[in-house]
Structure 1
Amino acid sequence: MKKITLLSVLILFAGNLAFSQGNTEYTGGYKIKFNEDGSKYLRIIAWGQFWAQYNDNVPDDASELNFSVRRARVLTFTQLNKNFLILTHFGLNSLNGNNLSPTGKGESSQLFFHDFWGEWKLGKDISAGAGLHYWNGISRLNNASTLNFMTLDNNRQAWAVLGLTDQFARHVGVYVKGKLGKLQYRLALNEALASNLQDGVVPTPNGAAVYQGRNLLGSGDAGKLFQGYLDYNFLDQESNFLPYKVGTYLGSKKVFNIGAGFLTHANGSVVADAGGNLEGEDVNIFAVDAFYDAPLGEDGSAITAYLMYQSNDYGRNFTLGTTYESGSMVYGHVGYLIPGPADKARFQPYISYQNRSIDAIDDNANRLGLGANLFLTGHHSKLSVEYSNFKYGSNDNVGTLTLQAMIYL
C-alpha cells in the first residue's frame, strides 16, 4: 500500500510540473524578479533523490534491504546585474537508518554548504570567482550535475579527490572560466583540506603513500592545488553559466565534445623510507574524455554516450578502501532514449562499465551497471533502477539492486 501511495504522489507531482528535457541554464525552480525585465532576480531550485537498495552480500546482523535519502538539496543564485553573481547550495547526502540522529543533531543529519561562491564578469566570455566552488578540473564527470545524471549516480572515482582535498567535491579557492570560440575552459587554484579521510594515518617504512602532505610535512606548497578542464564543443554549444555538466539532454540538443583536464598537488602525499624519514610525493591526476548526445531521428529517440580515460598518481602504491588508488581507469556509458512524444513519459535503458588498474595489488577492479530511467516529466520527475556488479581484485563479486525516485523543482 505504501509503495502505491509513493508512486501516486510522484505522478501527481509530474503532472503539475513544466516539462524540461535537461537544460544547462537551470531555468527550473522558482524565479523572483526584482525588476520588470527579470535581469535582476533570485532563482531557487530544490531536488531530492530517494533510494531503496538491495544487497544480499552483507553480514548476518545487517539488513539486505535499506532505504535512504541519497540527496536533499537546495540551490539559489542571484544576479542584481550581469556583472556579478552569488550562488549558495546546501543540503545533505546519504541519510539512512545507520546515521540518523535521535534529535536531528548528529553529523549526517546536518545540512552543510556544498557551494558558496561569488563571481565577477571580466569580459564578454570570461569570469572569475572565489569561495567554496565546483569549478573542477580533470573531467566532465568531476564537474557532473546531480540533477540530470543518465546513470543512477556518478562514476564515483571520477570525483577523484572527494574527501582527500575537498569538502564533498568542492574546494575553497579562486577560479577563472570562459570561452575561446568553441573551446570552454575552467582553471582553479584551491586550498587543500587539512583534516581528510586519512586524518591521523602515518606512513609505514617503505610502505604506501598517505594523503596527508599538508599535515605531516608542514610545507606551504602542500596546502595548495591547481586544477583545470577544457572541452571543445564541435556541435551545439553547452552553457558554462554554472559549472554543473549535464548527464543527458534527452535529445533536446546535439552535442559532441572532446575534453581534457588535470589536477596537480605538490607534496600532496607522503611516503616513509626504511628509517621512517618522511618525504613528499606529488599527486598528479589527468584525464581525456568524449561526450556525445543527440537525437536519432524525428521519432523522439536519442543516444547519450560518454568515454573517459583517467590516470591516477596519488603516490607510491596509494589506496584508500576500494575507492581510490594509484593506477588508471577507463570508464564509459551509453544510453538509448526509446522513441515517443516529448511531452509523455519516456524510457531510457543504459549500460555503464568501469575498469581500474591498482598498482598496490597489481590487479584490477571492475564495475558493470545495467539500468533504466523512466522520465515522467523529463528530469523533473523520474524513476530509475540499476543493477551493479562490482569486483575488486581477488574479492568476491558484489551485486546491488537500487531503485531511485527523484523530484526536481
Structure 2
Amino acid sequence: MKPTHYLISFLFIGLSYGALGQENPNSVLSKGIKYTIDERSTLSFHFGTQVWARYMQVNPGTRDVNGQCISDFYDVDLRRTRFSLYSSFLDDKFVVYTQFGMNGQTFSSISKPQIFFHDVWSAFQFFGGKLYAGMGLHGWGGVSRIGSVSYAKNIMLDHPGFNFPNLGKTDQAGRQVGIFIKGNVAGFNYRFSLDNPFVRNELDSIAFMESVYAPNSNTAVKGYVFYSFLDEEKFKSSYVPMSYLGKKKVLNLGAGFDFHPKSMASLNASSQQIFHDKKNFGIDLFLDYPFTNKSVLTLYTTALFYDYGPNHVRTYGVMNPVKTGDYAQGGGNYHYNVGTGTIYFGLAGFILPESWQPFSGKFQPIVAVHYKDFEGLNEASLKYDLGINYLISGHNAKVNLQYSSWNFYQGTSGFESDATISSQKGMLVLQVQMYL
C-alpha cells in the first residue's frame, strides 16, 4: 500500500473514532462524522449511497446489447455513491467543501466506473454570515429550488433531469467552475454566480432553424433568490432539502435565471450561422409544513421558461443501458426532457400521522406531475411519478418505491416537427438509500 493510501485510511479511521467517542450512534447517523480540530474549527464527513432494482418498459425499436429488439428488462444498478467533506475554520469564517463519487453504474457500464469530483470550492464569510464569497467547481446555480436539490434529501426517487438545464452539456454533473456569492438578508436567501461553462461543440449537427451548442468562452450568469414567509433556511452546501420531515415550517417564493450569451447556434435561410443567447428563467413555490399529529405536508411547484434558440430539444434517460433504437427518440427510457419551451412541474408528499404508521419509521406517499411544451415537438407531453417512501431513520435510512411514466413520440423533432405521442412507457424502481 502506498503512503498516501495509509494516510487516507488513518484519516477516515481517526474521524470515525473521534465522532463515535463524542456522540451516540443515532446522532452520528443524522449528523455525519465530525472531527473537532479546535474550539473554532471542525471537519464534517458524509457518505451516501443509493441502489436501484428496477423493471422498465422500453421505447419501441429498442435493441439490447446483442442487437435484438426488446420490449422490457430488469436490472440492479448503483445510482449514486458519494463522499463529502465540509471543512469549517474560525467559526465558519473560511470554509472548504469537497464532494466526490460516482453516478449511474448499470450492467452496460464499464466494470470500474469513473470516480470524479462533483464539488471543490472554498468561501469566505462576511458581515456576520450575511454574505459568503467563494470560487471553484460548485453548484451555487440558478433557475429554481429543485435545480439545487439534495440527492439525499429529495422526497421523489430522483431529480427530474430538466431541473439542471446544462446537464451533460456544459457542466460537470450539474456543476460549473466560477465565482459565487450566497447568504441570507432580511428574510431573503440568495445565490449568484459568474461561471465558465465547459466547452461543447455540436456544430456538426447544425441545421436550419434548429439550434445546437456552439463552442465559446463566454461567461454565464446565474442566480436564484427566495423569500421565507415562515422559518428561515440556511445552507452550508449548495444543496437544498425537499422536506425537513417535520423539523421546520417553510413557505418560500422564489425566482431564478441562467443566462449564457451566444452559446447556441443555428442556420438561417441563407445557410449562414447565427448565434443565440441561452436564456432560462424560473419561478417556484415551496411549502413544507408539519402538523400537531406528526404528519407533514410537502408541496412544490415551478414554472420554467427555457430558451436555447429555435426548436432546440433533447432527450434524457436516467441510467439508460439500452440507448440504441430504431426511432428518432432513441431506445430504452430516452424521452424528450429539455428544450426551448415551457415546463410546469409539481410534486407533493405527505408523511402520515403518527397514529396511522403501521411500523416504526414513517410512511410518505408521493406524487409528481410534469408538463412540457417544447417548440421542437408537435405535441406537448404529460408524465407522472407515483410512489411511497418508508423513512426508517429520516433521510438517512429509507426505502423508496416509485413508478415513473414517459411519452414516446413517433416522428422527428426540430423545425416543422411531425413528432406526436404514440404510446406511454414506464419504469418501476425500488431504491434503498443510506446517508451518513
Which one of 311, 318, 324 corresponds to residue 338 of structure 2? 324
Matches for 1:254-403 after TM superposition, within 5 Å: 254-297=249-292, 299-321=293-315, 322-340=336-354, 344-392=360-408, 393-403=420-430
Q: Distance in 2 between matches of 1:91 and 1:395?
A: 38
Unpaired runs of 5+ in structure 1?
1-15, 21-25, 215-219
1:157 counterpart = 2:171: no
Letter of the structure 1 residue corresponding to residue 74 of structure 2: L
Q: Distance in 1 between matches of 2:135 and 2:422?
A: 43
Instruction: Tell me, yes or no, if the aligned pair for 2:97 and 2:237 is still in contact at 8 Å.
Output: no
Cα RMSD of the aligned pairs, angstroms, is 2.0
Q: Distance in 2 between matches of 1:148 and 1:403?
A: 17
Deviation at 1:199, TM superposition (A): 4.1
Encode CA deviations 1:168-188: one digit per residue, 9 max, x unaligned. Answer: 100100001112210111000
Q: Distance in 1 between matches of 2:349 and 2:231?
A: 19
Normalising by structure 2, report the TM-score. 0.81
Between the two proteins, the alignment pairs up a number of residues equal to 370
1:78 counterpart = 2:87: yes
Q: Which secondary structure does the structure 2 equivalent of 1:55 belong to? A: strand
Q: Distance in 2 between matches of 1:110 and 1:165?
A: 19
- The equivalent residue for 2:34 is 31
Q: Distance in 1 between matches of 2:400 and 2:337?
A: 24
- The equivalent residue for 2:16 is none
Deviation at 1:95, TM superposition (A): 0.5
Q: Which secondary structure does the structure 1 equivalent of 2:423 belong to? A: coil
Normalising by structure 1, report the TM-score. 0.86
Change (3 A) 1:27 1:381: closer
Which one of 206, 209, 226 corresponds to residue 231 of structure 1? 226
Change (3 A) 1:136 1:177: same
Deviation at 1:200, TM superposition (A): 5.5
Instruction: Tell me, yes or no, if the aligned pair for 2:30 and 2:396 is still in contact at 8 Å.
Output: no
Matches for 1:137-152 after TM superposition, within 5 Å: 137-152=142-157
Q: Distance in 2 between matches of 1:367 and 1:17?
A: 41
- The equivalent residue for 2:57 is 56
Deviation at 1:34, TM superposition (A): 0.7
Deviation at 1:318, TM superposition (A): 0.4
Point out 4+ residue stretches in structure 1 off by more than 4 angstroms: none
Deviation at 1:27, TM superposition (A): 6.2
- The equivalent residue for 2:98 is 88
Instruction: Tell me, yes or no, if the aligned pair for 1:134 and 1:243 is still in contact at 8 Å.
Output: yes
Letter of the structure 1 residue corresponding to residue 87 of structure 2: T
Q: Distance in 2 between matches of 1:403 and 1:259?
A: 32
Q: Distance in 2 between matches of 1:80 and 1:240?
A: 16
Encode CA deviations 1:64-94: one digit per residue, 9 max, x unaligned. Answer: 1011100000000112212111111000101
Deviation at 1:19, TM superposition (A): 6.5
- The equivalent residue for 1:97 is 107
Letter of the structure 2 residue corresponding to residue 351 of structure 1: V
Q: Distance in 2 between matches of 1:286 and 1:60?
A: 37
Q: Distance in 1 between matches of 2:426 and 2:235?
A: 37
Deviation at 1:395, TM superposition (A): 3.8
Percent identity, aligned pairs only, is 29
Q: Distance in 1 between matches of 2:184 and 2:237?
A: 13
Q: Distance in 1 between matches of 2:178 and 2:303?
A: 27
Which one of 209, 214, 220 corresponds to residue 207 of structure 1? 209
Matches for 1:183-222 after TM superposition, within 5 Å: 183-195=188-200, 199=202, 201-204=204-207, 206-214=208-216, 220=217
